[in-house]
Structure 1
Amino acid sequence: MGNYPELFDEQLLGPYKLKNRFLVSPMTRISADEDGMANSRMARYYKRYAKGGFAAVISEGIYTDNLYSQGYLNQPGLVSAGHIASWRPITEAVQDHGALIIAQLMHAGGQSQGNIHSKQTAAPSAISPKGEQLEFYGGSGPYPVPKEMSEQDIADVKRGFAAAAMNARQAGFNGVEIHGANGYLLDQFLTASLNEREDSYGGSLQNRMRLLMEIIYDVQQAAGNDMIIGIRISQAKVSDPNYKWPHGDKDAEAIFSLLGKTPLDYIHVTDANGTASSFGDGSKSLAAAAKEYSGLPVIANGQLQDPRKASSLISSGDADFVSLGTGALANPDAPKRISKGKNLEAFSPEEILMPLAHIKDSEL
């Protein structure tokens, strides 16, 4: 396995043993059918990572209800019987080629820029995200001011996540990842500048974590003990890429300590550079903070296609797995290349939305 044997040994993740330390990171693809159905081009996209040697693939964000959760047009869903059936050929194809597949469950909240079910967005408070919508994902202009969620809206969010977890099980996924990162709904609740609620879901950090924590337990109960349950956490947001937690490492300790008391099987952290200091010069990386304060298995993400960087995180104990995003887009066979000592291809920005219909199995 070249000079990096630590990247290729087996390791438990929840009830499953992964064949190596490489996962594919969730990436927005906007390649589903208009009604949220998964399709054959998505199957080709996901299958190539399994064929390329990744131990597991985490799906793009999947919306969880027919209310306010959808974030992008042509985003896939896990709401209906049709959605469930449309995912089965994909989960089977990935598993048939030796990898696990995990469904990332996502509610976009106020950061939604395309929803066939509602023209209105909804968030913790009536505060629009910073910045402008992403043009390469079909958006334009500033984000609209969302409506403040009622208690009923919050209950609907919880039901949606739990139902989507059960649907993921029926669709053949090996696990689910709760999207609590990148400025989407659960991250909005966590962020004081976006959450000015005066009820039990606002105010203190513990209150702002309440919905996220409740959803973890609801999802675990719905999915069952034989599925992997994880969460993704970040500081930066799609709409505010330079955002940092206001109290740095102290916030990290509070957030990850709370998550460590839940039935999660892993925490997936993402940063611009997965090995860099996250809270100022000389501070811990986000992965190291998640590992130290939670005690849970950690998946690290952030330009870790360089096996030297990935190896340093695993060898130091700061992470248990690494996930590749743009590195996987450029190298869907990255684990095989690294194991044979081959060079990796550089990522080109035009690959971010490479027409998935043109992907062929031979492109490995």
Structure 2
Amino acid sequence: MNQKVLFTPSQIKNKTLANRFVVAPMTRISAERDGQANETMQHYYERYAKCGYSAVISEGIYLDESYSQGYNNQPGLANDAHTEAWKPVVRAVQDNGSLMIAQLMHAGGQSQGNIYTGETIAPSSAAPKGEQLSFYGGSGPFQTPKAAEMEDLQQIKAAFVQSALRAKEAGFDGVELHGANGYLLDQFLTDYLNDRKDAYGGSIENRLRLILEIIEEVREVVGESYIIGIRMSQIKVTDSEHKWAGGEKDAKIIFSALGNTSLNYVHVTDGDGSAPAFGENSRTLADAAKTYGKLQVIANGGLGTPEKAAAVIENNEADFVSLGTSALANPDLPNRVEKEKHLQEFDFENTLLPQAEIKEHELNQTIVK
């Protein structure tokens, strides 16, 4: 496999990425209690730009002072103070040659920490499967959410729009709508979490409706030149075995619909981004997104080895690979791969939980010269 393909430049919209390595969005719960980004976060994101990644996608950022927050100490883009706090973080990444994209997230019924309300909201009054994530401060089962009414849907759409505007004001190069992993937009797509009888429930086309409306309303306010992407998955934070009921037929409907919007890319995540997503001998999720959506695709899921990463690019299943745990273990992975250096294994105990402040001398020690 030709690993040099990983170091060829490519574009998303009007932005050139120097290579095919992207830092995946990862929940870090390192913000201030009120959702403001801080110096710890700046060091965390800046090091990836210094270490060779062409783009960095932020952790999920909550949208409003209402239902969207998912975790305590999650960063927000819900008010002017949040916007100002993100500006030095974004500049630090961009000053080191990388794009910075804000992932906009509404936790919906999967929220396990919210300073604004103790209630959660979802398409229907159905709690997510599984338990809250203890390593992000949760415990026990998820609460039963309130079923969103039509006025709630209008508020949710407005929250995505206003948060996208704040991201643009903060200097982000684009926004990524979080439609994956069991959060609110994915809850609308999920059969067992959406039993609505109105235009937002029932058929897969109806369950896609809110996502499509949000894409177009965000596009209307940010303009044609601004990057908008979306993250999609079958799997969820607490339901890693979930598959779309219609398999690849559903994938065709979903990705074709997304491809007919003003989106610039689709970011797909799976347990193994190089494995068949819909049963034996089927396409990968990235290949389905590329084939049916005909947009730029970022692939995610166990693609931290250069061989696997290069394969999805060379096979035209994706245009970029995003790395999560591999990036945590190897903040300088692109430099290591290019210089054929050894890659560190991911250590859950030492690298998944939020990190202490990263000092400049510590950053320099991690960079392969």
TM-score (norm 2): 0.97
Q: C-alpha distance in 1, partners of 2:208/2:2?
A: 41
Amino acid at match of 2:352: I
Amino acid at match of 1:192: D
Q: C-alpha distance in 2, partners of 1:232/1:55?
A: 18
Q: Which residue of 2 aligns with 1:72?
A: 71
User: Can you list the C-alpha shifts for 1:25-52, whole angstroms capped at 9, x where unaligned?
Assistant: 0000000000000000000000000001
Q: Which residue of 2 aligns with 1:143?
A: 142
**Sequence identity (%):** 56
Deviation of 1:226 after TM superposition, in Å, equals 2.4
Q: C-alpha distance in 1, partners of 2:202/2:280?
A: 29
Instruction: Map 1:174-323 onto structure 2 (within 5 A).
Output: 174-323=173-322
Q: C-alpha distance in 1, partners of 2:137/2:200?
A: 32
Q: C-alpha distance in 1, partners of 2:292/2:358?
A: 44
Q: Which residue of 2 aligns with 1:134?
A: 133
Q: Which runs of 4+ in 1 moved over 6 A?
A: none
User: Can you list the C-alpha shifts for 1:2-43, whole angstroms capped at 9, x where unaligned?
Assistant: 952111111011110110101000000000000000000000
User: Which residues of structure 2 form unaligned runs of 5+?
Assistant: none
Q: Which residue of 2 aligns with 1:115?
A: 114
User: Can you list the C-alpha shifts for 1:31-90, whole angstroms capped at 9, x where unaligned?
Assistant: 000000000000000000000100000000000111100000000000111000000000
Q: C-alpha distance in 2, partners of 1:24/1:85?
A: 23
Is contact 1:45–1:356 with CA below 8 Å preserved after alignment? no
Q: C-alpha distance in 1, partners of 2:6/2:112?
A: 38
Amino acid at match of 1:66: E
Deviation of 1:240 after TM superposition, in Å, equals 1.0
Q: Which residue of 2 aligns with 1:326?
A: 325
User: Which residues of structure 1 form unaligned runs of 5+?
Assistant: none
The alignment status of 1:13 with 2:12, answered yes or no, reads yes
Q: C-alpha distance in 2, partners of 1:305/1:286?
A: 17
Q: C-alpha distance in 1, partners of 2:93/2:56?
A: 8
Deviation of 1:169 after TM superposition, in Å, equals 0.5
Q: Which residue of 1 aligns with 2:91?
A: 92
Amino acid at match of 1:357: E
Q: Which residue of 1 aligns with 2:342?
A: 343
For the residue of structure 1 that corresponds to 2:278, the secondary structure is coil
Is contact 2:5–2:310 with CA below 8 Å preserved after alignment? yes
Q: Which residue of 2 aligns with 1:357?
A: 357
For the residue of structure 2 that corresponds to 1:357, the secondary structure is coil
Q: Which residue of 2 aligns with 1:51?
A: 50
Is contact 2:44–2:358 with CA below 8 Å preserved after alignment? no
RMSD: 1.1
Amino acid at match of 1:51: K
Deviation of 1:225 after TM superposition, in Å, equals 2.1
Give the total of aligned pairs.
363
Is contact 2:22–2:320 with CA below 8 Å preserved after alignment? yes
User: Can you list the C-alpha shifts for 1:239-261, whole angstroms capped at 9, x where unaligned?
Assistant: 21111111111111111010010
Q: C-alpha distance in 2, partners of 1:32/1:215?
A: 26
Q: C-alpha distance in 2, partners of 1:205/1:69?
A: 24
Amino acid at match of 1:97: N
For the residue of structure 1 that corresponds to 2:321, the secondary structure is strand
Q: C-alpha distance in 2, partners of 1:326/1:219?
A: 30
For the residue of structure 2 that corresponds to 1:34, the secondary structure is coil
Deviation of 1:354 after TM superposition, in Å, equals 4.2
For the residue of structure 1 that corresponds to 2:56, the secondary structure is strand
Amino acid at match of 1:307: P
Deviation of 1:223 after TM superposition, in Å, equals 1.9
Is contact 1:42–1:356 with CA below 8 Å preserved after alignment? no
